[in-house]
Amino acid sequence: MPDGAVPTQVNVQVHSLLHTNLNTVDVAAAAGFYADVLDLLPGMKTARTAADGRALGVDGAPVTECWFLYDHRGPRTAPAVEVLEWEAPATTGAHPAEPHHIGISSLGYAVPSIDRVRAKAARHGRPWTELPAWPVRGSATAAGRTTDLDGVPIELTERAGDAPVFSHLRINVTDLDASVAWYERLGFTAKATARSAAAGDDVLSYASMVTEDDPSFSLELTQWEKPRGTGLASSPAYHRGLYRIALGVDDVNAAHETLAADAPLSPPEFVELPGTRLGGVTVLFMRDPDGAVVELVGRSRSHMRR
């Protein structure tokens, strides 16, 4: 390298969102709600049993049961909602009620008919908010917002198709530039950005982040300006609601080596998935600039069909 030249930074190459974790008080009831309202079905379930909780920052061997819920595209194609019921310790707390609360905020689905979803949500007694001009993928679009049985917001946009599709995940941040740079380090690209944009009575700055391998899904990083973002990312690992996201990488050990060059980082760990054919996966846990938990999972892109 010539004297004075700046070395090119090599980013980690995340290829997809594998799942987002949603802690529930009743895994069967949560799965039933998502099956009825959004046609999601379980593609994998773990046994209700004790497993080592150290990787998740939980002492001892917590007892949990987990169902991975997929839209009509199924496993290896669609990202999943990992609905996880904690028995010991029990799921605790409540998902933040404010849409501008910092951290992993909302699930996003594109559906053939918003009116149909509204009617189904009403049958479950869920609230509904109309969002006349809501930012998704850089465009202000008509949307609706409801909540699931655990109080997690679900953003619905309308798109031609035969069935609902997991389209985006909203993550509220305190410093958009810092968060964009952090997720770019993982291999995401900002495909659409806006500064101080009006969204009804709200004012937001946002960036829609996608991966090259799965441009159908986006992380919607959102900095609230009016009202201001509030609170902290959810904790502990068994806190009710959205807690972490899992991103697929070809080589989790190589990802650790790359990222550990920036700052000290705990090494990858093996996490058990009792009762499944996988048995477990090697993962690397870290936190984004606002403390939201991000999990890199060693799953090759050749395993995916996207």
Cα 128 from Cα 124, distance rounded (Å): 11
Q: Encode the chain (306 residues) as per-residue pLDDT tens digits.
A: 455 544 456 689 999 999 999 999 999 999 999 999 999 999 999 999 999 898 889 999 999 999 999 999 999 899 999 999 999 999 999 999 999 999 999 999 999 999 999 999 999 999 999 999 999 999 999 999 999 999 999 999 999 999 999 999 999 999 999 999 999 999 999 999 999 999 989 999 999 999 999 999 999 999 999 999 999 999 999 999 999 999 999 999 999 999 999 888 999 998 888 888 878 899 999 999 999 999 999 988 777 765
pTM: 0.94
Copy the structure tokens of residue 279.
Answer: 């048995």
Structural domains of the chain sorted by starting position, each given as residue range(s) with its CATH number in brackets = 16-94+236-303 (3.10.180.10), 103-226 (3.10.180.10)
Cα 44 from Cα 70, distance rounded (Å): 9
Continuous H helices in the chain: 27-38, 114-123, 176-185, 252-260
| Residue among 176, 275, 250 at smallest CA distance from 220 | 176
Q: 3-class SS at 72?
A: coil
